[in-house]
């Protein structure tokens, strides 16, 4: 049989059934091992690794002695079963090995600037400059392959749900999506610029006006934003979708099974939420301190203001008396069964952490088992009548634990016990407190919830906890610009329509807007759109834009809505974040083939780079770079 020039099989294909066959493989030298004269060459390609063996009697041995890691070889040989004691169950070809007959060196490799074998940490600038080598590393290589499979599953699921894939323009007009645009100068129209799309928002709405009904796209989006772990600089990809003649419930009920199915296909044994809870924005803020809550964490914030009103703990009591909008929120720290009790050391660490976050501190009470119930009861209920005491015990049961710490001392035993019972805490548990106006402290309270849950190990890491956050505020106050601005998507429909815009306090309005959240990450954002021209104008007027500015900046949508626009809505799921979650990665650069660094530079290709004078003249551009 004549073999293919380079390979008859891939390096992940051979099994014990191929024993006795002559085969040809090509790939990279993963590693070379010398076992007392016998040379073992692990050959790697995109599909796997095959162990190859050669002894000194082979005519190809002199060539085999020269090969080094990452050389590219073609190997001919016979498939033989491994000794049962030498079978490697960690790889698909672990039951066989190739006895080498011939070797051809297809390419040699210089000394490597970073190791390819293993997944050891290495400086990011080296990894990105030599990304083609970094991508050979097993974990990163597999992440990129998983990314392609996730996208394929998304496309398949959307097709099965009746959606059609469309492509929308990359060179478009600037649009206020909440971030800076990347501008592209026009050579044909000097002084004018295209913008790379922050999202296909307006185009997908225009497709609904055009009557296409169900659109989706794996869409590249471009935003000139500062990078962070869960957001790459420059570009990202989203599963973009839009539907006509739908309510927000229709959107949720249609897309939720598609995304659930994608998570289940790649969950690798982790549980996936079947029916996503729908949590109002205001509820999420008060229960979790975040509009992207990690529901794997069982801790829920609770308002305990009433227990501090007029209390001996003057730090909080005085704030409450001075400002009726002040509240005290509790972060219950219910420990795992059988764990070491939470004591002063843990509470002091939390207090130090809070100070490191720029807070004055984090008050606490920790609870210890009651040894003398009668004595504690006397302290707590000494002033109560026997009837009141019996009523209390009938309602709550016996006292299990007594609070300790500065707050408990100043608050008093009765109030401390009431807090313990309300929060369901017992021996070995604790509670932390945050006080002030909720709009100023809720984010910190949410961070404290996360810190406590993580440090106590109560976060269930064996699941993907998905939910919808709904009923977002339509507007917010911009302290920087001293004006009302859109809180979310400016193209959304306000709840109550134009009547609400005309009559209600703008900051009280809710929108038909929603986010999908998984494990503390926002993975999608969407809304029912505002397809009524006058409602659209009014919504923008409240933010300070005139009718003329709306017609100029959003002329395409404004004109389209005057010629019969169906009610429509949709969402956009962040592909990069979903893949990051499914890969268990902590940074988007670990699931992106060719990312930029933290300074928004492409070290591999040397971008951004200067333009020469000829290019600038063609574009009618003169530079005025600020030093």
Question: Residue 366 belongs to what H/E stretch?
Answer: strand 363-369
497-533 per-position pLDDT tens digit: 999 999 999 999 999 999 999 999 999 999 999 999 9
Residue 118 has pLDDT above 70, yes or no: yes
pLDDT at site 109: 97
Q: What is the 3-state composition of the chain as percent helix, strand, coil, each rounded to the nearest 5? A: 35, 25, 40
Residue 378 has pLDDT above 90, yes or no: no
Based on the structure, what is the number of domains in the chain?
3
- Cα–Cα distance measured from residue 197 to residue 206, given in angstroms and rounded to the nearest whole number: 15
- What domain range is 451 assigned to? 297-459
Cβ atoms < 10 Å from Cβ of 478: 13
212 and 310 inside one domain: no
pLDDT at site 37: 83
Last residue of a domain, one of 107, 134, 162: 107
CATH code of the domain containing 85: 2.40.50.140
The answer to pTM > 0.85 is yes
Split at pLDDT 50, 70, 90, the class of 598 is confident
18-30 per-position pLDDT tens digit: 999 999 999 999 9
286 within domain boundaries: no
390 and 446 inside one domain: yes
470 within domain boundaries: no
528 within domain boundaries: no
Split at pLDDT 50, 70, 90, the class of 612 is very high
pLDDT at site 175: 72
335 and 440 inside one domain: yes
Average confidence (pLDDT) over 289-305: 98
420 within domain boundaries: yes
Give the rounded percent of residues in the chain with a pLDDT score beyond 90.
Answer: 81
313-323 per-position pLDDT tens digit: 999 999 999 99
501 within domain boundaries: no
Cα angle 315, 356, 587; round to 5 = 135
236-280 per-position pLDDT tens digit: 999 999 999 999 999 999 999 999 999 999 999 999 999 999 999
User: For every residue of 229-275, which 3-state class applies, written as one string?
Assistant: CCECCEEEEEEEEEEECCCHHHHHHHHHHHHHHHHHHHCCCCEECCC
Cα angle 415, 416, 419; round to 5 = 85
Q: Give, as one character, the DSSP assignment of residue 335.
A: P
- Cα–Cα distance measured from residue 281 to residue 474, given in angstroms and rounded to the nearest whole number: 11
101 and 133 inside one domain: no
Nearest to residue 78, comparing CAs of 4, 30, 18, 11?
Answer: 18
90 and 134 inside one domain: no
359 and 267 inside one domain: no
Q: What is the DSSP string of 447-473?
A: HHHHHHHHHHT-S--SEE-EEEEE--B
pLDDT at site 107: 98
451 and 313 inside one domain: yes
Give the rounded percent of residues in the chain with a pLDDT score beyond 70.
Answer: 94
242 within domain boundaries: yes
When the pLDDT of each residue in the chain is averaged and rounded to a whole number, the result is 92
Nearest to residue 330, comparing CAs of 180, 447, 434, 482?
Answer: 434
CATH code of the domain containing 141: 3.30.930.10
141 and 186 inside one domain: yes
471-489 per-position pLDDT tens digit: 999 999 988 888 999 998 8
pLDDT at site 375: 58
Average confidence (pLDDT) over 591-600: 92
CATH code of the domain containing 360: 3.30.1360.30
Last residue of a domain, one of 459, 490, 508: 459
65 and 147 inside one domain: no
Residue 395 has pLDDT above 60, yes or no: no
pLDDT at site 553: 85
- Cα–Cα distance measured from residue 102 to residue 24, given in angstroms and rounded to the nearest whole number: 9
Sign (positive or negative) of CA dihedral 66, 67, 71, 73: positive
Average confidence (pLDDT) over 563-586: 96
422 within domain boundaries: yes
Last residue of a domain, one of 459, 490, 520: 459
pLDDT at site 101: 96
Residue 399 has pLDDT above 60, yes or no: yes
Q: 615: which residues sit within 8 A by CB, 6+ positions away?
A: none
**Rounded to an integer, what is the distance from CA 82 to the centroid of its chain?**
44
54 within domain boundaries: yes
32 and 147 inside one domain: no
169-187 per-position pLDDT tens digit: 999 988 765 678 999 999 9
Q: What is the dihedral of CA 13, 15, 21, 22, to 10 degrees?
A: 40
Split at pLDDT 50, 70, 90, the class of 226 is confident
86 and 141 inside one domain: no
Residue with tokens 């306000």: 494
Residue 160 has pLDDT above 70, yes or no: yes
85 and 137 inside one domain: no
Split at pLDDT 50, 70, 90, the class of 383 is low
448-458 per-position pLDDT tens digit: 999 999 999 99
Nearest to residue 88, comparing CAs of 6, 8, 33?
Answer: 33
């Amino acid at each position: 049989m004549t073999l293919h020039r380079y390979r008859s099989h891939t390096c992940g294909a051979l099994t014990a059934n191929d024993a006795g066959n002559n085969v040809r493989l090509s790939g990279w030298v993963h590693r070379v091992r010398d076992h007392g004269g016998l040379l073992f060459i692990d050959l790697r390609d995109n599909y796997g690794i095959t162990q190859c063996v050669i002894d000194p009697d082979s005519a190809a041995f002199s060539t085999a002695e020269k090969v080094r890691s990452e050389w590219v070889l073609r190997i001919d040989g016979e498939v033989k079963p491994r000794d049962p004691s030498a079978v490697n169950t960690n790889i698909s070809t672990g039951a066989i090995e190739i006895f080498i007959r011939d070797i051809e060196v297809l390419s040699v490799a210089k000394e490597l600037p970073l190791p390819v074998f293993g997944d050891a940490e290495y400086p990011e600038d080296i990894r990105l400059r030599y990304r083609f080598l970094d991508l050979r590393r097993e974990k990163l290589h597999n992440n990129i392959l998983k990314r392609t499979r996730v996208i394929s599953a998304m496309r398949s699921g959307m097709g099965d749900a009746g959606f059609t894939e469309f492509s929308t323009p990359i060179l478009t007009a600037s649009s206020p999506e909440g971030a800076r645009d990347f501008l592209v100068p026009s050579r044909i129209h000097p002084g004018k610029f295209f913008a790379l799309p922050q999202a296909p928002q307006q185009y997908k709405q225009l497709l609904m006006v055009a009557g296409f009904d169900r659109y989706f796209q794996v869409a590249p989006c471009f935003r000139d934003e500062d990078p962070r772990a869960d957001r790459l600089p420059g570009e990202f990809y989203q599963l973009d979708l839009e539907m006509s003649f739908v309510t927000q419930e229709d959107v949720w009920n249609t897309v939720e099974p598609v995304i659930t199915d994608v998570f289940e296909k790649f969950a690798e044994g982790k549980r996936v939420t079947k029916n996503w809870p729908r949590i109002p924005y205001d509820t999420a803020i008060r229960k979790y301190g975040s509009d992207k809550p990690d529901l794997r964490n069982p801790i829920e914030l609770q308002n305990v203001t009433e227990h501090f009103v007029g209390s001996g703990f003057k730090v909080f009591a005085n704030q409450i008396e001075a400002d009726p909008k002040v509240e005290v929120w509790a972060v219950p720290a219910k420990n795992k069964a059988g764990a070491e009790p939470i004591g002063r050391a843990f509470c002091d660490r939390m207090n130090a952490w809070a100070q490191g976050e720029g807070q004055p501190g984090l008050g606490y009470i920790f609870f210890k088992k009651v040894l003398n119930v009668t004595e504690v009861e006397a302290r707590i209920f000494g002033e109560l009548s026997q009837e009141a005491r019996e009523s209390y015990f009938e309602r709550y049961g016996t006292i299990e634990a007594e609070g300790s710490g500065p707050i408990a001392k100043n608050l008093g035993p009765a109030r401390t016990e009431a807090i313990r019972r309300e929060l369901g805490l017992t021996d070995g548990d604790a509670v932390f407190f945050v006080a002030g106006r909720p709009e100023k402290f809720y984010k910190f309270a949410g961070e404290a919830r996360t810190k406590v849950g993580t440090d106590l190990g109560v976060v269930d890491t064996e699941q993907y906890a998905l939910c919808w956050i709904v009923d977002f505020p339509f507007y917010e106050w911009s302290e920087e610009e001293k004006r009302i601005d859109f809180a979310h998507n400016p193209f959304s429909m306000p709840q109550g329509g134009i009547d609400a815009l005309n009559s209600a306090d703008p900051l009280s309005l809710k929108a038909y807007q929603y986010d999908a959240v998984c494990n503390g990450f926002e993975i999608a954002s969407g809304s029912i759109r505002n397809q009524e021209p006058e409602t659209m104008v009014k919504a923008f007027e409240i933010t300070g834009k005139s009718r003329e500015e709306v017609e100029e900046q959003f002329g395409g949508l404004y004109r389209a809505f005057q010629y019969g626009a169906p009610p429509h809505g949709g969402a956009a799921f962040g592909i990069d974040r979903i893949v990051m979650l499914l890969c268990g990665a902590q940074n988007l650069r670990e699931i992106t083939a060719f990312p930029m660094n933290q300074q928004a530079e492409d070290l591999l290709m040397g971008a951004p780079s200067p333009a020469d004078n000829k290019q600038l003249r063609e574009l009618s551009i003169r530079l005025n770079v600020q030093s």
